[in-house]
Structure 1
Amino acid sequence: MSTQETVRQSAGEVEGSEALRVDAERAEQIVDALNTDLASTYVLYHQLKKHHWNVEGAEFRDLHIFLGEAADEAEEFADELAERAQALGGVPVAGTDAISEHAAVEPESEDVYDIRTSLQHDMEMYGDIIETLRDHVELAENLGDPTTAHLLRENLINVEDAAHHIEHYLEDDTLVLESATR
């Protein structure tokens, strides 16, 4: 086993891509946006998994499945974002410190909340991500990168769909009756 360590590319360094015909200056702006989206998506993923693990109550099964699937979608999108950042000559954020630094969203605390509060936190985070994705679609288009814009736009559809589902879960029309006392 080799003991030699060689840094091939420093975090934060963006080279651009000759093959994709995206120069370093444009690539740097796009990779920065992608890393923001990647970090935010990882924060969302972990929060969704937390809620998936801790959900209880009459709606447990449906919410457990929904939150698990939503987390899986976030994880898949994170992978797509990281691969696109790398393809553009950048270094995708990966460590917890870098994720915290780059994320445009704040996770809820480590405490476990009731599911309504948890879903409200998720919907708020989805809303923040939706706004950021819309801005980054426009940025990619303006910088002449329709591929990144397409990737972000496709995910925006999924993110908006998940937020819309959460909005429905939070409606007051339910078959579950609240008991007056416990």
Structure 2
Amino acid sequence: MSKQESVRQQAGSVEASDALRLEQEKTQQLVEALNTDLAATYVLYHQLKKHHWNVEGAEFLDIHEYLGEAAADAEDAADELAERAQALGGVPLAGGKRLEENAPVEPEGDDVYDIRTSLRNDMEMYGDIIETVRDHVELAEGLGDHATAEMLREQLITLEEHAHHLEHYLEDDSLVLESATN
């Protein structure tokens, strides 16, 4: 590891961006919102990966693949959020502890739960994140940052699609036959 230490920008700070022509006071609010979304997205990502790794049962393969795709979408969204925060002059949150502390969502415990419980927990987290992102779309629009608002709208579509898919997985209709002992 290099012994040279030169802090270029302190965590939590926002520098003016002349290129984007947004007032620093506005970009501070936007970076804070983006970091909140970034934190929530990483908590979601880790919970989805946990469920991806631990899913079992007759519908294992479909759910395992779906959760992998959902986690990949969350990882892509997190990257986009962090890059936008940086473009606005901010410092994206980094590190598991800081991300979890700044997330507006609570991850489930470390235990492995039945898949219905896991998927319900995922759907609940998606719902909480959807509400937060909707608020941040309005914030960005109100501050005149139409690019951030558009990016968040696109992410909102993906979040809502995943929440909707989880809702379908949790329906009571299934092709899996119940055992004769029931």
Pairwise same-fold verdict (TM > 0.5): yes
Counterpart residue number, 2:78: 78
SS of residue paired to 1:141: helix
Displacement after TM superposition at 1:98 (Å): 1.3
Contact 1:43 1:107 in 2 (8 A): yes
Counterpart residue number, 1:15: 15
Displacement after TM superposition at 1:181 (Å): 5.1
Change (3 A) 1:80 1:16: same
Counterpart residue number, 1:94: 94
SS of residue paired to 1:133: helix
Residues 105-120 of structure 1: matches in 2 within 5 Å?
Answer: 105-120=105-120
Displacement after TM superposition at 1:115 (Å): 0.4
Counterpart residue number, 1:153: 153
Counterpart residue number, 2:36: 36
Change (3 A) 1:2 1:68: closer
Matches of 1:125 and 1:155 in 2, distance apart?
15
RMSD: 1.3
Counterpart residue number, 1:172: 172
Matches of 1:165 and 1:108 in 2, distance apart?
20
Q: Deviations over 1:145-182 (max 9, x none)?
A: 00000000000000000000000000001111333659
Aligned residues: 182
Matches of 1:155 and 1:10 in 2, distance apart?
28
Displaced runs of 4+ in structure 1, greater than 4 A?
none
Residue ranges of structure 1 left out of the alignment (5+ in a row): none
